[in-house]
Structure 1
Amino acid sequence: MNFKRFGRPAVIAIAAGLALSSCAANEAAPADDAPASTLTGTLNGAGASSMDAAQQAWIAGFQTANTGVTINYEPSGSGGGRKAFIEGGTDFAGSDSYMSTEELAGEFASCVPGTKAVDLPVYISPIAVIFNVDGVDELNIDADTLAKIFSGAITTWDDAAIVALNPDATLPSATINAVHRSDDSGTTKNFTDYLGQAAETVWTEKASDTFPFPGEGAKGTSGVVDAVTNGTNMIGYADASQAGDLSTAKLQVGEDFVAYTPEAAAEVVAGSPLVADRAADDLALDLNRKTTNPAEYPLVLVSYAIVCNEYADAAQGELVKAYIEYIASAAGQTVAKDAAGVAPLTAELEANVAAVLATVK
C-alpha cells in the first residue's frame, strides 16, 4: 500500500512500538490472568448499515472484556452517521465513504474547538451485485452494462448487451427491476464511484451517497436485500456479508469474469494509495477501480471509523480510543471476519491505524 502521505517519522515510530507491544501482549499470560478493565461509560455510534454485523460482534467482544462499558450502534446509513457525529449526537461514526472536503472544513461538536476528525479504515468488504431473475442462476456483467442497467438505459433482461455476456443463459424477456439505496449511503458512493471510473463513458454522474437516478429505492442494506429477495427479476447492490442466499454476479476484470471474495477485495485495497491533500493522520483511501488484474475485485468498500483528534470530553475520548483500537486490532479483525466474512486489514494498514489512534485523546 502506498503511504507516501503518511510520512511523519514520529508517527511511524509509534506504529513500530505498537507492533512490538502487540506481539508482547499476544505472548503474555492467558486472558483469564489479565487485569480487569477499569473502563466505564456509554458509547454511542451510528452509520454504515453494511458493517452492522461486524459492529454487533465487536460490541459483544468489547463489552465482554470491559463489563463497565455499554456501546450502542445505530445502522442509520453512512450519511446519517456522519451527520449525527458532526452535530455531536454520537461519539463516533461508521461510514463507507470518507469525509468530504466540505465536512472537514466545518466544526465537529464532540471535538475540542478548532480540532478535526479523522477517517480510520476498519472494515474491508466486497460489494455484491445481487440478483433474483427467473431461470438464471449465474450472471456475468461488465461495468458498462451494469451502468446502463442502473441508469435506466437497459430495461429488459434479454437486452443484447446482457445476452452477449451470458450466451449460455436463458434470459427472460422481462423488465429489469433495479433497486438502489433510498438513504444516503456510503455503499452507494462506492458503487457509483466504481461505475464512474470503470464505465466512465457511460456513467457520467459523480460518486455520491445519494443515488443519482430514479427507480426503486430501499432503505439500508437490509432493505435492498429484502427487495431483491422478495421481488421478481430484480438486481441490486449490497455489502457481500449480507447477500445471504441470493445469487451474485461476476464482474468483468480485464478479460475475466471475477466472483467477489474477501481476498480479492483486500488485494485492491492493498494496491490503493491514500487520498491526496489531506491531513497526515487521515487514512482515507483512493480505491483503484480500474484494475485489470483478475486477482482483484474492484467493487469494494472500505468502512471508516470517524473519530475526533481530541475529544471535548476526555473520558469519552478514552472510551472511543479503546474501542476503535480493539476493532482495528488483529483480534478485532478476526472477530469481524468470523461474523461477516470480511477481509482483515493488512498488517501495514493495521499498524498505521494504531499509530493514529495513539495520538487521539
Structure 2
Amino acid sequence: MKLSRVGTSVAMTAIAALTLVGCAAGGEQGGNEGGSDLPKYSPAEQLEGKLSATGASSQEKAQVAWLADYAGLQAGVDVKYEATGSGTGRDNFVAGTSNFIGSDRAFKAEELKENKFAVCKDGTDLVEIPVYISPIAIAYNLPEVEALNLDADTIAKIFDGKIEKWNDPAIAALNEGVELPDTKITPVHRGDDSGTTENFMDYLSEVAPDSWKYEADKVWPKEIKGGEAADQTAGVAAAIEGGEGTIGYLDASAAGELQTAAVKSGEEFVEYTPEAAAAIVENSKLEEGRAATDLAYELNFEGGNGGYPIVLVSYLIGCAEYQDAETGKLVKDYFSYVISPAAQALAAEKAGSAPISDGIREKAQAAVDAIK
C-alpha cells in the first residue's frame, strides 16, 4: 500500500500548520475540512485562547490537517504544533514549555515518578491517549526488486550489521525465485530521539530476542557501527530515496513512493495497511498500574490473523489538572476533537492512519473528560 508522501519538511511543520490555520480561520465557520462524506464534529462551546505543542513527527500530516479543521470550528483558539520529535516533546512537557505534546510512546512508569511536570498541578495524573495508529514501514531502495519479504530475525540482523549484502542467504530464503543483487546494505536509522525508534526496537526485542540484544530506547544503540543516521521521519525517507541499497524504518505516512517490504506476521507475510496495524492494537492490552486517564498500550507484536506486526501508536499527552484552568479547558476541547470520528477520519484521509476503534475512543473520552 502506498500513501501520499510528506509534502513539507519537518522543520516547516509549524509554519505549514499556521498557514493552514490562518486560511481555515479566515474562511467560513464550521471546519470539517475533509471530504464531504466524512463525519462532522461540533464543539460544545466556542472558546478563546492559545496552545503551544511539540512532539512526534509521525503525527505531522495528521496535525496539519487537524489544526486547519479545528481552526474552522474554534476560530478563537490558536493551536500551534511543531514536529520536534517525540523525545524533545517529552522534554518540553516536563519543562513546561509545551501545553501538551505528541509522543510515539507514553511516559514510562519510572519517568512518571521521577519527573515533575511544570504545566500540571502537583500530584495530578497525566492524560495519555492514543490518537494516531500507523504501521512502521520497512522501506528499501532496490529498483530491480519489486517485492520483498522479511521477518523479524532478518530485520534485526540487517540493522545490527550482521547481514551486509542483499543477496545474503537469510534474505534469499524468504524470497524464493527473486533475483537479489550483490549490493551492500545501508541501514538507515533515526539520528534524533524518536518514539518510532523505540517502537521499532521494542518489536525486534519481543519477536527476535535471539538476534536483537539491545534494550528498546528512543536513541539508536551506540554499539551498532555503520549504517546512516537521519533526523526526523522526513529525513529517513529522503535518505532511503537518495541511496540505492538502503533500508530504513519510518512511519508509513512518509513512505510515499518508496518500496516497502512485507513483514512476517504469524505464518504469513503481510503488507502494511492502516487496518492491519489497527488489528495489532485491538489485540493488545493496557499496561497495568497506570492511572485511569493513562491509556498506555502494551502492544502485541507477534501479529497473526492478518495483523501487521510493526506498529506505531502515537499519543497526545496532557495533564489531568493544569496549573492554569483556562489552559486545561482548551486542551480538553482540542483532545475531544482529535479523538472524534470526524478528526480520525480526516487523519485517515490525509495521513493514511488507522482510526481508533470505538472501544479505544470510549476509554479516551473518559480520560479527556477528566481534564481540568
TM-score by length of 2: 0.86
The alignment status of 1:176 with 2:185, answered yes or no, reads: yes
**How far, CA to CA, are the matches of 1:309 and 1:202 in structure 2?**
41
Q: Which residue of 2 aligns with 1:246?
A: 258
Q: CA 1:134/1:40 → structure 2, altered by over 3 Å: closer, same or farther?
A: same
Q: CA 1:31/1:221 → structure 2, altered by over 3 Å: closer, same or farther?
A: closer
Deviation at 1:118, TM superposition (A): 2.6
**How far, CA to CA, are the matches of 1:260 and 1:191 in structure 2?**
14
Counterpart of 2:186, as a letter, is N
Q: Deviations over 1:12-41 (max 9, x none)?
A: xxxxxxxxxxxxxxxxxx989x79953111
Pick from 54, 69, 74 the counterpart of residue 62 of structure 2: 54
Pick from 329, 340, 344 the counterpart of residue 318 of structure 1: 329
Q: Which residue of 2 aligns with 1:153?
A: 162
Q: CA 1:198/1:113 → structure 2, altered by over 3 Å: closer, same or farther?
A: same
2:134 touches 2:277 (CA, 8 Å); kept in 1? yes
Q: Which residue of 2 aligns with 1:11?
A: none
**How far, CA to CA, are the matches of 2:177 and 2:127 in structure 1?**
48
Name the SS of the counterpart of 1:50 in structure 2: helix
The alignment status of 1:43 with 2:48, answered yes or no, reads: no
Q: CA 1:64/1:178 → structure 2, altered by over 3 Å: closer, same or farther?
A: same
Name the SS of the counterpart of 1:51 in structure 2: helix
Superposition map of 1:156-167 within 5 A: 156-167=165-176
**How far, CA to CA, are the matches of 1:329 and 1:174 in structure 2?**
47
The alignment status of 1:76 with 2:87, answered yes or no, reads: no
**How far, CA to CA, are the matches of 1:353 and 1:51 in structure 2?**
18
Q: CA 1:217/1:31 → structure 2, altered by over 3 Å: closer, same or farther?
A: closer
Pick from 102, 112, 119 the counterpart of residue 110 of structure 2: 102
Q: CA 1:258/1:31 → structure 2, altered by over 3 Å: closer, same or farther?
A: closer
Counterpart of 1:40, as a letter, is E
Name the SS of the counterpart of 1:175 in structure 2: coil
Name the SS of the counterpart of 1:205 in structure 2: coil
**How far, CA to CA, are the matches of 1:31 and 1:303 in structure 2?**
23
Q: Note the aligned Cα RMSD (angstroms).
A: 1.6
Name the SS of the counterpart of 1:179 in structure 2: strand
Counterpart of 2:338, as a letter, is I
Counterpart of 1:280, as a letter, is A
The alignment status of 1:282 with 2:294, answered yes or no, reads: yes
The alignment status of 1:360 with 2:371, answered yes or no, reads: yes
1:134 touches 1:172 (CA, 8 Å); kept in 2? no
Counterpart of 2:308, as a letter, is Y
Deviation at 1:242, TM superposition (A): 1.1
2:43 touches 2:73 (CA, 8 Å); kept in 1? no
| Structure 1 ranges of 4+ moved more than 6 A | none
Deviation at 1:134, TM superposition (A): 4.0
Name the SS of the counterpart of 1:163 in structure 2: helix
Q: CA 1:199/1:120 → structure 2, altered by over 3 Å: closer, same or farther?
A: same
Counterpart of 2:155, as a letter, is L
Q: Deviations over 1:86-120 (max 9, x none)?
A: 11000101011110123201210000122232311
Name the SS of the counterpart of 1:319 in structure 2: helix
Superposition map of 1:1-361 within 5 A: 38-105=46-113, 106-212=115-221, 213-214=224-225, 215-291=227-303, 293-361=304-372
Q: Deviations over 1:286-330 (max 9, x none)?
A: 000123x24111101110001101000111111111001100111
Deviation at 1:241, TM superposition (A): 1.1
Deviation at 1:259, TM superposition (A): 0.3
Q: Deviations over 1:37-84 (max 9, x none)?
A: 531111111111011100111111111111111111111111111110
**How far, CA to CA, are the matches of 1:220 and 1:227 in structure 2?**
11
Deviation at 1:254, TM superposition (A): 2.0
**How far, CA to CA, are the matches of 1:35 and 1:72 in structure 2?**
19
